[in-house]
Amino acid sequence: MQFGLFTVFDNYKEKWGRTPEQLLHEVVEQSEAADQLGYDSVWFAEHHFSEYGILTTPQMLLTLVAERTQTIRLGVAIVTLPFRNPVQVAEDYALLDVLSNGRLNLGLGSGYLPHEFAGFNLDPEGKAFRFNEGLAVLEKAWSGKRFQHQGTYYEFSDVGLKVLPKQKKVPIWIGTLRSRGAEFVGKMGYNIMGVPYVASDSISRLKQVIEGYKKAYREAGHDETKIHIPLALHTYVAPTREEAERDAKEHLNLYLDTRLYGRSARFEDLEAREQLLIGSPEDVIQRLRKYKEAGCDHIMMLMNFGGLPHEKVLKSIQLVAREVMPAFKPTAREHSMLK
């Protein structure tokens, strides 16, 4: 299993006194720590017009993180493609891949927050069609050839990128954990990613969705060895379960209250559904084993949430690296045997 650090950038200046500038710099420091401690990836969300997420252009902050880190992969989760010109998305993230020496992980989605569609004066009813066309344009732009496109939402005449991604094939994930959406993505040959509590009531239900996705992927003739499924879970690890819950509960509930999503939940709800990684190292190891068995091979740990203090986030990042990750990482001898 791979380990990533995921940040939504929710910020509550009135409650905690932390400015957006402070949060941005803290997340960069947390990303540096993750790189030094052997995490596989960092992921930044894109959001607009709300304290739920203050980072509107993840590619800009990821460029700074690229300069400050060595090996950690740099992910966006997700680019809300209907809000963007797809050629500009292709240009921006190709440049990030070059500047990071080929470390880009690209997550794409169609969006889900009504206030964001209203802010961009877009009708959410057409988001799936706009997304699919935008994805087709992005792939054309990254082909290395000049192209034309005459579609419903976008028109381009004889354009081509001068800076292409360093990676031969940038890994692309599409945000969905609902059965029909996951199966559609599987047929297209892309990976899926998501936040389990948004679309699933249990790990067993999540496993069914993943199995349906894999079946569609395989039956469409795609190489199943290319499947990698990252899932995002709120994470906070402390020496004891009691300490972890005491530190994290208020902050998690604040995050949930601000999510502006139709489905409300509280700490107790998510814990009962096993959709949190909040506890002692052993608690988290046991729960991660269930997600691994369900088909998840990359965990995106959402540790900076609800105004949780920077120092506590760093301690949790360190404790995961020291006491959780070794349970899922091959030893040096095992790693050499796999080569």
CATH number of the domain within which 182 lies: 3.20.20.30
Task: Give the least confident one: 15-24, 25-34, 78-87.
Answer: 15-24
Kindly state the tokens that stand for 24: 């941005």
- Count the domains in the chain: 1
CB count within 10 Å of CB 26 equals: 18
Kindly state the tokens that stand for 196: 């389990």
d(C-alpha 177, C-alpha 194), whole Å: 6
Average the pLDDT over 144-161 and give the result: 98
**Residue 136 banded pLDDT, cuts 50, 70, 90:** very high
Model-level pTM greater than 0.75?
yes
- Give me the pLDDT at residue 15, please: 87
User: Is 75 a residue whose pLDDT tops 50?
Assistant: yes
User: Is 221 a residue whose pLDDT tops 60?
Assistant: yes
Q: Tell me the percentage of the chain whose pLDDT exceeds 90.
A: 91
- Give me the pLDDT at residue 260, please: 56
- Give me the pLDDT at residue 257, please: 87
- Give me the pLDDT at residue 258, please: 82
Strand order in the sheet with 2-7: 191-193, 172-175, 104-109, 73-80, 41-44, 2-7, 298-304, 230-237, 276-279
Using the CB atoms, write b or e for 48-83: b if 16+ within 10 Å.
bebbbbbbeebbebbbebbeebeebbbbbbbbbbbb
Average the pLDDT over 283-302 and give the result: 98
What range does the domain containing 241 cover?
Answer: 2-338
- Give me the pLDDT at residue 263, please: 57
The percent of the chain in helix, strand and coil, each rounded to the nearest 5, is 50, 20, 30
Kindly state the tokens that stand for 203: 């790990």
Q: Which amino acid is at 181?
A: G
User: Is 201 a residue whose pLDDT tops 60?
Assistant: yes
- Give me the pLDDT at residue 162, please: 98
Using the CB atoms, write b or e for 326-335: b if 16+ within 10 Å.
eeebeeeeee
Average the pLDDT over 131-156 and give the result: 98
d(C-alpha 314, C-alpha 320), whole Å: 10
